[in-house]
Chain A
Amino acid sequence: MHPGAGYLLTIGLVSGATLAYEVLLLRLFSLIQWHHFAFMVISLALLGYGVSGVFLALMRQGVSRYFPAVIMSNLLLLALSMPLCFMLAQTLPFNPAELLWDPWQLLYWLAVYLILAVPFFFAANFIGLSLYQFRRGIPTLYASDLLGAALGSVGIIALLFVIDVGQILLILPVLVLVAGLLLLTQSSIWSGRQKQAWLTAILVAGAALLLLLPASLQLNISSYKSQSQMLTLPETRVLQRESSPLGVLTVVESKQVPPRYAPGLSIVSNAELPEQLAVFTDADAMSAITAFNGDFKALRFLGQTSSALPYQLKPMEQVLVLGAGPGSDVLQALLHGATHIDAVEENPQMIKLIQNDYADFAGDLYALPQVQVHQSEARAFASETDRQYDLITMSFQSAAGASGGLYSMTENYLFTVESLQEYLQHLKPGGYISITQQTTLPPRVMPKLLATVSAALASQKLTPSQSVLLIRSWQTTTLVVKNGPVSKQEIRQLKQFSGKYNFDLAYYPGITEQEANRFHQLKLPYFYEAATALLSSDKAQFIADYKFNIEAATDNKPYFSQFFKWETLPEIMSLLDTGSIFLLESGYLLLIAALLQALVASFILLLLPLWLWRRRRKDREQAQPLHKRVLAYFFALGLAFLFIEIAFIQKFVLILHHPVYAVTTVIAGFLLAAGAGSFLSGRLKKRSPRHQVLAAVVLMTALSAVYISSYGAISGFLLAQSDFLRYLLAVLMIMPLGFCMGIPFPAAMSVLGRVHDEMIPWAWGINGFASVMSPILATLIAMEFGFRVLITVALLLYLLAVCLFPADSSTPFARKPG
């Protein structure tokens, strides 16, 4: 039996809605919890796919007999569970911050992702059962599954721009129900009273969803996020909320307790702070819109923060502010008389807040003749502009940096050796880069930045030890890098400024130990020691000996916030009782925890049922070697597909500039191409499946070899192109690779369909489990060894898959049991 066009369309819609749901959950959990937990919860929830495979394998005959009813029930349950499971999950008192204190939290964590696995289970049942039922048409079905997912990945990004994140949770189930209607009306599987009954059920479910659920969902934002805490204050209210794939921006006003946002303000400052409105990104990471009426006296405080250091050294005319946000750094540049300021901000809604909604309050800051706003990602702007600056300034916060290593799995191309080289090239002779960050203790962010800067300076034929200034307030550290040697005059000004505002000198060319660590005393002059060593030739030894990973971040390993070192773990663990938890670079460990959870869950949910199943059927079937082969084959595919996809996402973020758009483009590109590959492999009946897979893997290897070896040249070429051309060329690069990657799965599935159909659900399930582990494993490999190794491992897995495909294609995998 072949599925009709209506059926294929439904598969596409369900697959698209499910992928959109996954992206949506990630967004929702980043808002109500924290991004890293969102990542883990959602990757683990995909276990639903694996469980579905097991379920179908065990219930295969039953569900196949009642196929029409089972398929429609799954569709209905998918639609209902999408909003309900999220609502249920967010009522659990899961608080990641308590995870290390309270063992119950582990249980809540488990519960959260088990609940969220439910919709994925139904979606996977729908697709997996379809593959089983129409096993002759697997390549076509798989193609529509992939194409639907590709459209879903693009569609959700578009939706997130136009509709509030809370409302989309209602749109997706409606889409699934529409898919159901389509299926009922277009397919001949249902007829008569049965058809009527299902039509009624869908309409009732739709009506129930629309009538019973609130139009916009109430989101339970964690009470420990800074936005929630601010909202407990009297006379405090939300003025505005803007949501997009880049995050939810919330503007909060407090009449009684204004935000008082002045990071790095001198401890001896007596400046009154002007009126401010708080701006939260995903309910955290507060910044502020500062009231400005053209009177610079009110902005006096911006001359008393550690980030004001570069302005003391010489008059700055051309200033580039990277990550301008609501404009504090722009105001600071204005205060110090900059004549041209390029303010770069990637979030268009943030710009809109200052340009339109709060333009009066902010004194039309972004419309001033000195200020030019650019909606762009920081590094993209740096690579495109041909302007030269006196000062390039940025706050580390804008890169969502230092927060206990929790962002360690996030790539960050803002602070790598290559990016700093790029910034240096946009400095006039004698110009400066200034980076301010919140101080972490024991120091790790600044030492890592120093190591990265040191490597960048050396490659530009500048002497690191002669080009750097470093000062500290009680909460921040400001690093100034000069394009040229620091002069005696500049050192005098540095000392005068620091002395006046009680900022500590941590480094200048010629500093002595006695001068460091005076006002804000640390047990030892850590920053002085780190800077002196890292800017000298002792660098390598210091980095090797340091208790945290402070090796320079590069484009190949752009994990600036990865500070974890295995060697330090025992010492931290021995101090746990006395509260050393904050020393744990938990992001990395949480990744490992997630991987372990996935392994344990896969073992329990997959291998155990498989073992039981085999015991039960031992007498009837003697297909033992087959099982291992099938499982290994599909496991390898599941891992390898995502390894390559993730490696490309992470490399293309740099070329396509913006993470959200890059991720979408790459995912959609791969899925689209793989869909085409799958479709075509089904048409090529003359070629044996094994030959198809072999050819695909050989081609893939060749392509990857070219990409890996000439990545520098390719990215250099692409970066010089216009936006449109860059995206187009990137997709063209992905296409042939994705096309090949779409072949191995349906090729083997088709073979199974012909000779071993009972194995189809198992293959589907194991592939699902592999997809849970793959992103986590990929991130760990990329962090530890870089992207080249990740791609190589993926290719080896594909080669392994070829070997697992038996030599004689007439007896695929194993003999059909007699």
Chain B
Amino acid sequence: MTLTPLSSLTVVLLLMALMSPLQAQDNFKQQRQALVKEIATDLRSSDAILDASELDPRVLDALRSVPRHQFVPDKHKHQSYRNRPLPIGYGQTISQPVIVALMTNLLELKASDKVLEIGTGSGYQAAVLAELVDKVYSIEIVPELAERAAEDLKRTGYDKVITRHGDGYYGWEEQAPFDAIIVTAAADHIPPRLLKQLKPGGRMVIPVGSRFMVQHLVLVKKTQDSDILTEQLLPVKFVPLTGDH
């Protein structure tokens, strides 16, 4: 029997199907490394990287470690390491990796920090935070998402993320105060209770825009004497606004 182009294609397909899951994992890992590299290069010019020209290497390490594909629904798994938001159901998305990188970077976390996340969503952002700090608390209001994220975090070994189903508007009183708060659900105003639960010197990050398009990031800073200031940052470098003047 001679090998026709069609039958050779069949063989290739069969081989692909027989490839071990391990190989797929390796493949994902490679894609992840490539993605992080891409993000690191692209972001050299971002408006949202304060007081430095590059992302904190620890944040990049965290992105290299967290298997994003484990938090992405099966249907979109093959797109896990594209730099794009992906639908996770209930009108929510898993954020674009570059936005996760920027938001995490803005929090300037130390290992000993205690972080609160409002809007667990897929759980991916919480996992990234867990790579950087010891204590991560996360609240999700949609029951189905809360349940799924809790399972996914457990399955991927991020047991230290403590999740809860509930309304993030009131923060997590029992665990307050926090060194950092990350709000991934859109907000019309910043809940006063949440600000109260932020330590003096603490930072809070809020993305503004739609599910598929973050327009800018808001960094809220509580000063040592509890004054509240914000910085509004574009995820890309787009200045000056008036031509070359």
Contacts and interface: CB of A to CB of B under 8 A. Distances in A.
Interface of A: 95, 97-98, 101-102, 222-225, 228-229, 232-234, 256-257, 260-265, 267-271, 404, 439-443, 474-475, 502, 518-524, 526, 542, 545-548, 571-572, 575, 577-583
16 contacts: A224-B210, A256-B167, A261-B188, A263-B188, A263-B189, A268-B228, A474-B220, A475-B208, A520-B230, A521-B229, A545-B242, A547-B242, A575-B238, A577-B83, A579-B235, A581-B213
Contacts of A98: 87, 212
B232 A547 contact: no
Given A577-B83, A579-B99, A441 B232 contact: yes
Contacts of B213: 97, 404, 581-582
Contacts of B231: 520-522
A229 B141 CA distance: 11
Contacts of A522: 231-232
Interface in B197-245: 208-216, 218, 220, 228-243, 245
A709 to B, nearest CB: 37
Contacts of A579: 83, 96, 98-99, 214, 235-236
Q: Which 8 A-B pairs have the closest CB atoms?
A: A223-B91, A265-B189, A545-B242, A97-B212, A545-B243, A578-B42, A229-B91, A580-B236
Contacts of A545: 242-243, 245
B212 to A, nearest CB: 4
B159 interface: no
Contacts of B169: 257, 260
A579 B90 CA distance: 24
Contacts of B211: 97, 224
A672 to B, nearest CB: 42
B182 to A, nearest CB: 16
Contacts of B235: 578-580
The range of chain B's interface size is 35 or more
Interface of B: 38, 42-43, 45-47, 83-85, 87, 89-92, 96, 98-99, 141-143, 167, 169, 188-192, 195, 208-216, 218, 220, 228-243, 245
A167 B208 CA distance: 37
B90 A101 contact: no
A441 B215 contact: yes
A582 B235 CA distance: 10
Contacts of B218: 474
A554 B203 CA distance: 44
B195 A578 contact: no
A270 B195 CA distance: 10
B236 A575 contact: yes
A804 to B, nearest CB: 45
B242 A542 contact: yes
Contacts of B189: 260, 262-265, 267, 269, 475
Nearest to A518: B229
A582 B47 CA distance: 14
Nearest to B191: A260
Given A518-B229, A520-B230, A579-B236, 12 more contacts: A223-B90, A228-B91, A262-B189, A439-B232, A441-B216, A475-B188, A475-B208, A526-B241, A545-B243, A571-B238, A579-B98, A581-B213
A406 to B, nearest CB: 11
B188 to A, nearest CB: 6
A268 B234 CA distance: 24
A582 B209 contact: yes
Contacts of B214: 579, 582
A521 B243 CA distance: 22
Nearest to A575: B236
Contacts of A439: 232
B188 A578 contact: no
A270 B192 contact: yes
Contacts of A526: 241
Given A223-B91, A440-B215, A578 B190 contact: no
A232 B195 contact: no
A628 B5 CA distance: 48
A421 B232 CA distance: 33
Nearest to B102: A579
Contacts of B45: 578
Contacts of A262: 188-189
A265 B189 CA distance: 6
A506 to B, nearest CB: 13
Contact of A523 (B47, B141, B215): B47
A546 B241 CA distance: 6
Contacts of A95: 87
A582 B232 CA distance: 15
Nearest to B228: A267
B211 to A, nearest CB: 5
Given A260-B169, A268-B228, A579-B214, A101 B141 contact: no
Contact of A224 (B212, B232, B234): B212
B218 to A, nearest CB: 6
A442 B90 contact: no
Nearest to A101: B84
A19 B181 CA distance: 53
A184 to B, nearest CB: 48
B238 A583 contact: yes
Contacts of A577: 38, 42, 83
Contacts of A260: 169, 188-189, 191
B210 A97 contact: yes
Contacts of A546: 241-243
Contacts of A475: 188-189, 208
A616 B209 CA distance: 56
B72 to A, nearest CB: 14
